[in-house]
């Protein structure tokens, strides 16, 4: 039986599950989700990362865990069935990376501010809004639930260069 500290394998591009649209979490899923959440946090912290979406660990459910301050005072956030309900017209560009594209980074332009509606583990509805890193992380993780990766925002030239570099590094890692 998997315990809450069980680390989950993180899927790496080009795994086809990363391109699937996830289904909403239902009441019937909650037992599985409550097991997945601590495992996803353990996996994210170990990686280390600041956000992890369920499809990155092979679960095609609309579930995200985030912690933007893992080194300082932990502030874990669980978002079940998150949806962006408002966003700014103003754009912001910041460097993004992804645990499913290890060691690959690029500047991504997104709305500078978003408001997201989601449920917690008890089914209560909440809203979270933010700009800066929080906004980028919310959008990045929700994109995962829709089969979208940060590289999809890049020019085809930049995207192809980054994906070729990743494939080469993954091949070298397997060769060791």
Q: What's the CATH code of the domain at 113?
A: 3.90.45.10
**How many domains are contained in the chain?**
1
For residue 139, the enclosing domain spans: 16-175
- Let me know if 141 is a catalytic residue: yes
Encode pLDDT of 28-43 as tens digits: 999 999 999 999 999 9
Burial 27-60 (b: 16+ CB within 10 A, else e): eebeeebeebbbbbbbbbbeeebbbbbbbbbebe
Encode pLDDT of 9-29 as tens digits: 999 999 999 999 999 999 999
Among the listed residues 69, 109, 67, the one whose alpha carbon sits nearest the alpha carbon of residue 88: 109
| Residue 168 belongs to a domain | yes
Give pLDDT, residue 1: 43
Encode pLDDT of 125-162 as tens digits: 999 999 999 999 999 999 999 999 999 999 999 999 99
Q: Specify the pTM.
A: 0.95
**107's tokens:** 């500047």
Three-state secondary-structure class, residue 109:
strand
Catalytic residue among 28, 95, 141, 169: 141
| Residue 135 belongs to a domain | yes
Provide the 10 A C-beta neighbour count for residue 23.
12
């Amino acid at each position: 039986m998997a315990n809450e500290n069980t680390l989950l394998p993180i899927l790496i591009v080009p795994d086809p599950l990363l391109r699937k649209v996830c289904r909403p979490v239902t009441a019937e899923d909650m037992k599985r989700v409550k097991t997945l959440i601590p495992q996803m946090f353990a996996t994210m912290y170990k990686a280390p990362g600041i956000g992890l979406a369920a499809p990155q660990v092979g679960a095609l459910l609309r579930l995200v865990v985030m912690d933007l301050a893992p080194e300082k005072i932990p502030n874990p956030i669980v978002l079940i069935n998150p949806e962006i309900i408002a966003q700014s017209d103003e754009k912001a560009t910041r460097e993004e990376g992804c645990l499913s594209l290890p060691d690959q980074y690029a500047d991504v332009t997104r709305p500078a501010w978003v408001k997201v509606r989601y449920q917690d583990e008890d089914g209560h509805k909440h809203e979270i809004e933010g700009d800066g890193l929080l906004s980028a992380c919310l959008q990045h993780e929700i994109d995962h639930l829709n089969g979208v990766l940060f590289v999809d925002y890049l020019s085809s030239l930049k995207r192809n260069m980054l994906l070729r570099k990743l494939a080469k590094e993954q091949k070298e890692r397997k060769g060791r």
